[in-house]
């Protein structure tokens, strides 16, 4: 099983939970993936994917 480390950098709770739900839905379709989420704003060193909200409502 492969583990993917994902950092979500946003203070918007709705946006954060929506992104987690989308990623979990995609991962559930692939039987050999597992995701670990981090919500810290300064912990990006060991992350495979970083999702950041640059302006309110705009994610990159």
Task: State the DSSP H helix or E strand holding residue 37, giving kind and residue range, or none if neither.
Answer: strand 33-38
How does DSSP assign 4-33, residue by residue?
A: EEEEEE-S-HHHHHHHHHHHHHHHHTSTTE
pTM, whole model, 2 decimals?
Answer: 0.77
- What are the pLDDT digits (tens) for 5-50? 999 888 888 888 999 999 999 888 887 889 999 887 777 788 888 8
Domain boundaries defined on the chain: 2-59
């Amino acid at each position: 099983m492969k583990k993917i480390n994902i950092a979500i950098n946003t203070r918007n709770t709705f946006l954060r939970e929506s992104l987690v739900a989308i990623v979990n839905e995609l991962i559930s379709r692939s039987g050999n993936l597992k995701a670990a989420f981090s919500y810290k704003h300064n912990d990006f060193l060991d992350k495979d994917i970083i999702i950041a909200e640059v302006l309110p409502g705009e994610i990159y």
